[in-house]
Amino acid sequence: MSGSPDFKAITSTAELFAIVRLMEESSAERYRELAEAFEISCNNLETAEAFRALAEGEDRHAAEFPAPVGPLGALKPWGEEDPEIADPGAVHYLMYPWHAYDLALRHEQETLAIFTALADATTIPEVKAEALRLVEREKGHMDRMRELRDIQPIPPDDWDEDDDPPNWEASD
Amino acid sequence: MCGSGGAGVMTAANMFLDAAAEAGFYALFGRSSGPQIRGGEAAALVRLGADPITSVDDTFDIMLAIDWQGVQRFAAELPLSKSSIVICDPAAGEVPEVYVKTGARIVHLPMKDLAKTIPGGRPNMIALGAVAALIGFPVAPLTEVLGKSLKKKRADAFEASVAGVKAGAEAAATLGESKKLAAPKAKDVKRWTITGNYGTGLGAIRGGVRFCAAYPITPATEVLEYLSSALPKVGGVFVQAEDELASVNMCIGASYGGEASITSTAGPGLSLMIEGLGLSMASETPVVVVDVQRVGPSTGIATKCEQSDLNIAVYGLHGDAPHLVVAPNSIGDCIFTTQWGVYLAEALQSPCIVLSDQALGQSRGIIDAPADVAFVGKRLQAVAPAEGEVFKRYANTASGISPMPVPGQEGCQYTADGLEHTETGTPTSQASDHDMQLDKRQRKLTSFDYGSHWATIEGEGDIAVITWGSCTGAAREAVERARADGVNAKLISLRLISPTRPEHLDAALKGVKKILVVEQSHLGQFTRYLRGEYDLPVKPEQLSRPGPLPMRPGEIHARLLSMGK
Amino acid sequence: MNAVTYAAKDFKSDVKPVWCPGCGDYAVLSSITKAFADLGLKPHETSVVSGIGCSSRIPAYTNTYGFHSIHGRALAVGQGLKLARPDLTVLVAGGDGDGFSIGGNHFLHACRRNVDLTYIVMDNRVYGMTKGQPSPTTESDWDASAMAPPGGTGMTPFHPLAIALAAGANFIARGFSGDPNGTAEIIAEAIRHPGFSFVAIMSPCITFREEQREWKETMRKVGMEPTTDSAQAARRLMTDDGYNCGVLYRGNRVSYGKDKIASAAVSDLDAEFTL
């Protein structure tokens, strides 16, 4: 249901950095929430650990940008949603760490697409230059995420089969 | 005084009571009516005297029947003796066999015909005049009351009523002699006239209640009726809820917001409110529920009295859920006990059930003015914790009472919960947390100082009569009569039903050799409660009966005499 | 005094949710706290009241005054609180079973009564806490759970928005947990709007209703401006397929309740009974 991002709202590199920092922070928060959910409500500690590591990675990414001076106010450049907020419906209580990194990889990919579109759309040279740098940065993140994913054990085909399902023997 | 709907017996009886109040008498006015809203048979049951009255008598001296329609249904509630007089209209047909059998003297008064001789005349005014004259009741206060209530409406109605009363009084000369009323002594004593249900409403406000949500139900509706007009006057809020579930939960919400709250109901409504009471108990959000008991189970007999909600009031909640149950024992005590109940609920952050009953709630009394006591509900206020510390809403204090904040207070935000919780209010399933909170909630109730109000205790003797609620009046009168016969008994009427006060009752029963429990229940719920919860020194005798018939002094008196042999 | 402002995270508590990973309610919690922050509310002057169910755990996850009450009764508790304390911002929240089944009667009368509060129902069309029974909003033929009768309940799903309108709610909107910012805006508007504001938030239960993952694709922004005309709103809602998100109706009824002004002292009440 997400609308297309409103790139015109960004008029300076300071604003762009503020937005990127916010994106990274909200991703960190979301990954942390997932880590807690996996730990508290379904005892999936490995995946919880993966999300916790992802959250810490996003913390580091956020710290690369200066904290905005003053409140962001109504600055909402990406329309409806922050692209790096993980889609709640995209997780499964039996998912493996491999899935967690795969999910993160997809989100880095979405972010990359956003920055690419920003570089194309903006008419402000400084913003365009920074957007292109961000594209390169995201490519690096994606490579790193792919590496992290690929060192995880590959989930078996029947990874989502539950011998003790939440509502036992689904009738279909 | 009885008759079918529209005969005006209630109007006449109310005027009679107003006049009695004016003249300095004491009175007790109960009503019995069929299930119909309008047009059903109705009986106004009045006892009048120069001294305070807290009980019905064994028999009526005078029964006045404007007509006989449906009146035999009340026969059991209208006991007559050979010395009673039945006044009836010859035009109303034959006197039902059930009244003839009593041996009462039957006299005729053509009320309808006499009324016809007066323009706008009504039989109930003829009846009023006749009864007044028969017992030697002064005419002046009657005329005064008629003036007050009718003159504002229509002058001709007033004239017609005065003429009717006069005609009735004159006709009384043909009715023979009756017992005469002793002259009033209380002209200078401060007296009130009030029903138990209005008293309950007033007591609630005196205790600090400023919020009421309630759903109409017989015989508790007058509590709601009173509070709906009185609460706004003192800056409070009244809401008529969609059902009893909403009533009690709205009260819990308001109480959470810091307002002392009350709802009123009867047995069927109390059944629905039980889940809310459990929430109030577990979340330690005070609320007061008045149950004006009526005949149960289920819909039972909605308009009549019974003391059979004791079990549900004390034991109805699931889980280990100690809470407050208090019971008024006279019309005037409805004021005090409700006020006290609010005070206790607020102090102990507990639900409090006020077990009134139909006989107290719907009876109007002329009583000595009640004392204005200083019990006003007050909660233990919370203080915001130091920086970095978490507020503990359910802190495990020595008294068991934890400080309770009012929303708006900074730094004390908490989530009230019916789930078992830790001291901070966080849900928990751990045994140690459950133990701690169970102990705490029990401790606050049992270690509290309830003072002398836990019971009304009167007299000394080898026999103790233990009773509660509206049976207290009859028991008191029986104890007085027995004393005159040389049998000394002590009256103990329990006001604090729950928690129990074992040491206090032990002390009160010291030296007692026999115990009689008086109650209005088929199962003997109160007797069972006493035997189950207290170590009584002797096995008690039980004198009980279900509603709708009240316990009368004579039968208790007779039992006391046989026990005193 | 300097006005202290609170960020969304100041409205969250340290208590960790018991919700399943991927539950839509996480996003709803974020939307609620964001709306509180955007409105400039203070945690201690705000209250969240709930009943029983997965979503009803929400008060403990906020840092406001909260009440986790009993099944179906949240609206009663919330209305009592608001009427006793009109100065507080009261938000009542819960699920579809809590609000429309056991609490159905309170829902109708809360709409009618029009007390100035906001009611959020996180609708996932299933009883999650008891492991997958059909709820009042479950599709009539849903039987993908051992807890549902074969062939489904055969009962027409409850239409909360149309019922809210018919019963007199003063503000009606639908949100989607997959659109947390949009939902936060709707909640903020609902809180600002006087009277009883009802916000149904479609919040998938991916544990018992796996197919609700697809809501991400099916939910859409309502293509029309909200109407103040109840007849027009009725037509819209009766033709609504359940996937239109946004504010659908803004009424202009006056909120229930009068100012609490004492005109008498308690002792003045005695006069009525004194002879």
pLDDT at B447: 96
Domain assignment present for A26: yes
**pLDDT, tens digit, for every residue of B307-320?**
999 999 999 999 99
Is the distance from CB of B194 to CB of B223 less than 8 angstroms?
no
Is the distance from CB of C219 to CB of C243 less than 8 angstroms?
yes
Taking the Cβ of residue A40 and every Cβ of chain C, the question of whether any pair is shorter than 8 Å is answered with: yes
Residue numbers in C near B18 (CB within 8 A): none
pLDDT at A128: 94
Is the distance from CB of B190 to CB of B332 less than 8 angstroms?
no
Q: Is residue A152 predicted with pLDDT exceeding 90? A: yes
> CB burial class (10 A; 0-12, 13-18, 19+) of residue B80?
buried
Average pLDDT score over residue span B418-442? 97
Residues C131, A34: C-beta atoms closer than 8 Å: no
C89-95 and C46-50 as β-strands: parallel, antiparallel, unpaired? parallel
pLDDT at B7: 81
Q: Where are the domains of chain C?
A: 8-272
- Measure the CA–CA gap between B214 and B248, rounded to whole angstroms: 8
- Can you spell out the DSSP letters for C238-254? HT--S-EEEEEEE--PP
pLDDT at B150: 79
Q: How confident is the model at residue A79 (pLDDT cuts 50, 70, 90)?
A: very low
Q: Residues 167-206, chain C: which have Cβ within 8 Å of B?
A: none
Question: How many Å from the N-terminal Cα to the C-terminal Cα in chain C?
Answer: 54
The SS3 assignment for B366 reads strand
| Better pLDDT: A86 or C62 | C62
**Structural element, H or E, at residue C147:** none
Cβ neighbour number for residue C157 with a 10 Å cutoff: 18
B324-326 and C244-250 as β-strands: parallel, antiparallel, unpaired? unpaired
Residue numbers in C near B416 (CB within 8 A): 66-69
At the second CATH level, the architecture of B196-368 is 3-Layer(aba) Sandwich (3.40)
Q: How confident is the model at residue A22 (pLDDT cuts 50, 70, 90)?
A: confident
- Classify the phi-psi angles of B461: left when phi > 0, otherwise alpha if psi is within -120 to 50, otherwise beta: left
Q: Is residue A17 predicted with pLDDT exceeding 60? A: yes
The DSSP 8-state label assigned to residue C255 in this structure reads P
Q: Amino acid identity, residue B217?
A: I
Q: Is residue A2 predicted with pLDDT exceeding 90? A: no
Which chains share 3+ C-beta pairs under 8 angstroms with C? Answer: A, B
- Measure the CA–CA gap between B181 and B296, rounded to whole angstroms: 37
C84–chain A nearest CA distance, Å: 35
The SS3 assignment for B411 reads coil
- B56 token code pair: 């019905």
User: CATH 3.40.50.970 residue ranges in chain B?
Assistant: 196-368
User: CATH 3.40.920.10 residue ranges in chain B?
Assistant: 2-186
**Which residue in A has a C-alpha nearest to residue C9's C-alpha?**
A29
Q: Is residue A164 predicted with pLDDT exceeding 80? A: no
Question: What integer best gives the mean pLDDT of chain B?
Answer: 94
Q: How confident is the model at residue A63 (pLDDT cuts 50, 70, 90)?
A: very high
> CB burial class (10 A; 0-12, 13-18, 19+) of residue C40?
exposed
| Better pLDDT: B236 or A68 | B236
Domain assignment present for A130: yes
Superfamily (CATH) of domain B2-186: Pyruvate-ferredoxin oxidoreductase, PFOR, domain III (3.40.920.10)
The angle, 0 to 180 degrees and rounded to 10, between the axes of the packed helices B553-563 and B471-484 is 50
Q: How confident is the model at residue A169 (pLDDT cuts 50, 70, 90)?
A: very low
Domain assignment present for A21: yes
A89–chain C nearest CA distance, Å: 5
Average pLDDT score over residue span B329-353? 98
Average pLDDT score over residue span A89-96? 87
- B525 token code pair: 């719920």
pLDDT at B6: 77
Q: Which domain holds residue A110?
A: 8-68+91-150
Residues C79, B279: C-beta atoms closer than 8 Å: no
Average pLDDT score over residue span B424-433? 96
Residues A89, C131: C-beta atoms closer than 8 Å: no
Describe the strand order of the beta sheet including B489-494 as a list of residue ranges: B455-458, B489-494, B463-467, B514-519, B541-544
Q: Residues 57-116, chain A: which have Cβ within 8 Å of C?
A: 76, 80-82, 85, 87-93, 95
The angle, 0 to 180 degrees and rounded to 10, between the axes of the packed helices B196-206 and B221-233 is 40
pLDDT at A75: 52
Residues A42, C21: C-beta atoms closer than 8 Å: yes
- Measure the CA–CA gap between B559 and B561, rounded to whole angstroms: 5
pLDDT at C159: 96
Domain B452-563 class, CATH top level: alpha beta
Average pLDDT score over residue span B180-208? 92
Residues C207, A166: C-beta atoms closer than 8 Å: yes
Question: Nearest Cβ partner of C261 from B192, B235, B278?
Answer: B235
Taking the Cβ of residue C59 and every Cβ of chain A, the question of whether any pair is shorter than 8 Å is answered with: no
Which CATH number belongs to the domain containing residue A54 in this structure?
1.20.1260.10
At the second CATH level, the architecture of C8-272 is 3-Layer(aba) Sandwich (3.40)
Q: Is residue A85 predicted with pLDDT exceeding 60? A: no
Residue numbers in C near B412 (CB within 8 A): 44
Q: Is residue A116 predicted with pLDDT exceeding 60? A: yes
pLDDT at B526: 98
Is the distance from CB of C138 to CB of C130 less than 8 angstroms?
no
Domain assignment present for A84: no
Q: How confident is the model at residue B37 (pLDDT cuts 50, 70, 90)?
A: low
Q: Is residue B344 predicted with pLDDT exceeding 80? A: yes
**Which residue in B has a C-alpha nearest to residue C63's C-alpha?**
B413
Q: How confident is the model at residue A44 (pLDDT cuts 50, 70, 90)?
A: very high
- Can you spell out the DSSP letters for B98-110? HHHTTT-EEEE--
- Measure the CA–CA gap between B165 and B158, rounded to whole angstroms: 11
Contacts of A38 (CB under 8 A, 6+ apart): A44, A45, A47, A48, A51, A93, C21
**pLDDT, tens digit, for every residue of B490-503?**
999 999 999 999 99
Q: Residues 16-55, chain C: which have Cβ within 8 Å of A?
A: 16-24, 26-27
Residue numbers in B near C115 (CB within 8 A): none
CA distances in angstroms from A164 to A91, A168, B65, listed in the order given:
19, 6, 76
Average pLDDT score over residue span B370-393? 92
Average pLDDT score over residue span B451-459? 97
Q: Is residue A70 predicted with pLDDT exceeding 80? A: no
Query: In this complex, how many residue pairs, one in chain A and one in chain C, have their CB atoms less than 8 Å apart?
Result: 100
Average pLDDT score over residue span B207-217? 97
Residues A171, C23: C-beta atoms closer than 8 Å: no
pLDDT at A80: 41
pLDDT < 70 positions in chain C:
1-2
**Which residue in A has a C-alpha nearest to residue C145's C-alpha?**
A170
What is the number of domains present in chain A? 1
Q: Is residue B289 predicted with pLDDT exceeding 80? A: yes
Q: Is residue B62 predicted with pLDDT exceeding 90? A: yes
- Measure the CA–CA gap between B468 and B521, rounded to whole angstroms: 12
Is the distance from CB of B323 to CB of B352 less than 8 angstroms?
yes
Residue numbers in C near A74 (CB within 8 A): none
Q: Is residue B383 predicted with pLDDT exceeding 90? A: yes
Q: Is residue A82 predicted with pLDDT exceeding 60? A: no
Lowest mean pLDDT among A99-113, B212-226, B487-501, C53-67: A99-113
Q: Is residue A77 predicted with pLDDT exceeding 80? A: no
Q: Do chains C and B touch (3 or more CB pairs under 8 A)?
A: yes
Contacts of B509 (CB under 8 A, 6+ apart): B464, B492, B515, B536, B537
